[in-house]
Chain A
Amino acid sequence: MFQADLTITGDIITIQMSGELDASSAPNFHKILQQAATRSPKQLILAMSNLVYIASAGVRGLVFARQKMGDDVEVVVEGANESVADTIRMTGMEHAITIRETFSA
């Protein structure tokens, strides 16, 4: 089961993601990304420490996020486990977003 919760701190939006992100759950992810895009943040953090699986449908969400946010908005994937991070890298998305392997304070 996939869950995504959005929090706003100043001009930073964080989406806490957990569970499994596949083609069945991707529409929920896309909806919350739509909400984030309308807020015009300076940084979008996708907190993935509790995300156990991501498929291409989820990666398309990252593409969507990158497209919807302006060029000056940093999109950060944070805390993804090794397999999730590898999946994102296999698509070449690491050239368009920032991947942080561990949480910062």
Chain B
Amino acid sequence: MNTKNLSFRTRSIHVGSNRDPQTGAVVPPIHVASTYVLPGAGEPSEFDYARTGNPSRQRLEQLVASLEGGVGGLAYSSGMAATHGAMMLLKQGDHVIAGADIYGGTYRLLHKVLNQAGIEVSLVDTRQIHRLDQAARDNTRMLWLESPGNPLMSITDLEQCCRWAKSRKILVGVDNTFATPVLTRPLEFGADIVMHSATKYLGGHSDALGGVLVTSQTEILERLHFFQNAVGNVMSPWDAYLVGRGIKTLELRVREQSSTALRLAEFLSQHPRVRSVNYPGLEQHPGYEIARRQMDGAFGAMISFEAGDDFSQAKTMVESTGLFQLAVSLGAVESLIEQPASMSHAAYDREDRLAHGITDSLVRISVGLESFDDLKADLSQALDSMD
């Protein structure tokens, strides 16, 4: 079947899920074999050893590549393994610029792991292009972006940043975990690599761990695959199956969760105990206009807000919800709540955290598939519990 002309949702269901030629199964089998019988000694075969390639993993890679509009993709054992996979394109003495509003784990990888390999790092507010000019060096090789950012939901103009980087021959990688390809496809704006923590919206059910890279260039894909095969941080076929199964409802989930999130953000912004709400779908959000251009019809399902007056009030709030469960991670059917200062962004030094606007009273929610009324009632009673 030629899938090129099919819409996003139809591709989500069918790409990489061709009828199994051997059994006719409507859903392809999960290939668990670690190794493959070869046609002859030294003779090449499509698959030889599962670290190098596996049919179940390959189907997922083709699927995400199609949704992101890339030439190909690679699936990793976790989102961080994928980010690390992309960073392996760098070498000693290279400089990477990353957004200031990024996932704590990426911050840790850059500042506490890659720095040991002699890679230099600058964190920059990527909403302001002149800051990129200030940070750029002769040895700058990569720009790493997140939009919406984590946890402040800052919106970076991907097209503008990609144009800036291209003129300096700097590779652009975008962590598209929050937006998902349903809402934003960074390769269309000129990015070279898109990264996903597939654990989040792609899998969508809090039951698989994985990461994916998709690139717009064959040459980059081949280098990434060389590194992945050498390092071995591949996604298991079981998880690849679950993530692929999750993607079949990706568009439905993301649009529904985003629409609930917008209503919750509006509710929160009216609430007397909420000091500020970060959600790009609110008109007062500084990135609202860019988000409208860059995000396809919705603004995602992540919200952060400042609850109460201090660390302990925010802590009380996140511990008082009934439906929202206190857990890190995001993007699944179950709504989650957390306090970045003590949880997702605890890997930051406190000074860095405060410098980047992650205050002690910041609360982050991942809006799930539950009904709006139930979630609103839950947040409302949790906010009241601070008194």
- Asked if A and B are interacting partners, one says no
